[in-house]
Amino acid sequence: MLKVSCNVLNDQIQALAQCSFLGRPVAGPTFTPLRNPVVSCRHLYKPRVLAVLSDRGGVGSGSGVVGADLGMVRLPGSGSGSLADRLRLGSLTEDGLSYKERFIVRCYEVGINKTATVETIANLLQEVGCNHAQSVGYSTDGFATTPTMRKLNLIWVTARMHIEIYKYPAWSDVVEIETWCQGDGRIGTRRDWIVKDYATGRVIGRATSKWVMMNQETRRLQKVSDDVREEYLVYCPRELRLAIPEENSSSLRKIPKLEDPAQSSKVGLVPRRADLDMNQHVNNVTYIGWVLESMPQEVIDSHELQTITLDYRRECQHDDIVDSLTTMEPLEDAKAVSELQGTNGSAVVKENIEDSRQFLHLLRLSGDGLEINRGRTEWRKKPAR
């Protein structure tokens, strides 16, 4: 998401249009070069990244790609929608049944491997999911609730998250993420994502998640009513579309409970204020960091995370104290070769089973040992750099 100062907004947008990452000038609106550009163009990209911006209204209002054919930047004050809407590099797809957005990986989103961290990837998935919900007129309070859900104090909560990363983007890489949601039986819904390297079009990651409905006041789960289903299914693909084909997929594998004694642990983890989300509970992405805190250092040094699956079983409050437990899981049942092919794109990951590692994880409350989260991670040997 472009972060631009409102005081020099017009000048900055014109300067951005001169940067190579927006592509060569094309027919259409022209921009006058600035004497003292305020935007640095040092990082040049070969691919053309169009500033695709959306005007988003309420449910049923039109929404689409603005200036996609011309590669133009929409200036503030033109059209409807908020300033953020007009600057955001994302929009609904042509059929209105999915949403795509592009992001530039920033320096503070890169970790020890000089690539984006898994937490960065998870945060981007969360961001594009929320932007998708807002683009079709759902609430802007972060819960992506429909009108009926708001009347009944209902919210969505994550039940399972599964992320596969085939190649980590580096600092200044541009990634494009597509997301869509679908019904998932009577008790919930699912959201899927496909992550691409925008320069090459190559699929570098996929993710899928399952969500259930909860009463915000009683904290009890609730079935999805027909009224709610009708409100959101209108924005979902008519036929089942899966980012990760489910046949032989690790995204569906059951995660057994990890029992003591664990091979490695990190105890006494405490949520920071910055870890709390808009409903005063620990953000989903924070759990990923806690899981990784108990990973053996020798594995962190020699391997990189390939797949992570988390089952969310209990909410974590701001004053809870958490223990993270990790134990290596045998690889007898793991597939050495994973192939993902289909209409959603394709990606092939081949790993030598001798270089792979697989672990089970458990997050629990320190006091009474109640489960917060179960997890499984798969790791591959770090590529030579």
State the catalytic residues.
279, 281, 316
Cα-trace Rg, the chain: 22
Q: How far apart are CA 116 and CA 124, in angstroms?
A: 11
Q: How far apart are CA 245 and CA 235, in angstroms?
A: 21
CA-to-CA separations, 117 to 120, 222, 230, 294, in angstroms, rounded = 5, 34, 37, 16
Q: How far apart are CA 254 and CA 84, in angstroms?
A: 40
Q: How far apart are CA 265 and CA 74, in angstroms?
A: 51
**Nearest-CA neighbor of 139 among 71, 197, 148?**
148
Q: Where are the beta strands (DSSP E) in the chain?
A: 90-92, 99-104, 154-165, 174-184, 188-197, 203-215, 221-222, 264-269, 303-312, 322-328, 337-340, 347-350, 357-365, 371-381
Residue length of the chain: 385
* Upper half-sphere CA count for residue 354 (Cβ side, 13 Å): 0
Token readout for 50 is: 């169009």
Q: How far apart are CA 315 and CA 248, in angstroms?
A: 30
